[in-house]
Amino acid sequence: MSASDNIEHAYHELWDSADSGKEYYVPEKYQLGLLTDFLEKTGAHYQSEVKVGSYPIDLVAIQGETIITIEMKSKDISRGIEQACRNSDFVDFSFLALWEENITDNTLSKIVDLPIGLLSVGNEVNIVSSPMKTEKQLYPRDYVLRIVNESVREQS
């Protein structure tokens, strides 16, 4: 069997296994492009992997004076909920973004009373639940705005 035959065989095996109904882990980094497209449509400016204090945040967006964070998760949803809640302490709105097939009634019941929102990521991004606005933030607002603005400017 030639090298090109081996490649074609491997290609067909891959597609056959994809059709078999097996579930595959898709890392959250693949959510990033979909989420940034979504943010661009809203007119927000954004940057990934911004540190506020000692906390790295997956995605930070700014729209006017409003600061939004998005924590992306493919697995370990409980950890994502913790991180999104932590982020809500120093921004206006904090979201958890999950692949749409990972959103269950159990997940929804865990976040219903929390200050975070939930984004469903699939062929498009949908807001499943809205976050509560954080009234009193842990860090001074000017400090967070400066960090976010500097990071966003570097990205542009």
With bands split at pLDDT 50, 70 and 90, how would you rate the model's confidence at 114?
Answer: very high
- Indicate whether 119 pLDDT > 90: yes
Confidence of residue 117 (pLDDT cuts 50, 70, 90): very high
pLDDT value at position 135? 75
pLDDT digits (tens, 9 = 90+) for 37-84: 999 998 888 888 888 777 888 998 888 888 899 999 988 899 999 999
What average pLDDT does the segment 84-108 reach?
92
SS3 143: helix
pTM of the model: 0.77
Can you list the domains of the chain with their CATH numbers? 26-155 (3.40.1350)
- Give yes or no for residue 12 having a pLDDT over 80: no
Q: What is the pLDDT of residue 49?
A: 87
| C-alpha closest to that of 114 among 100, 134, 97, 99 | 134
pLDDT of residue 53: 75
Judge contact between 55 and 32, C-beta under 8 A: no
Give CA–CA dist 145/56, Å, rounded: 15
Interatomic CA distance for residues 141 and 135, integer angstroms: 11
Higher pLDDT, 153 or 41: 41
pLDDT at 106: 92
* 120-152 residue pLDDT tens: 999 899 999 999 987 776 667 777 777 777 766
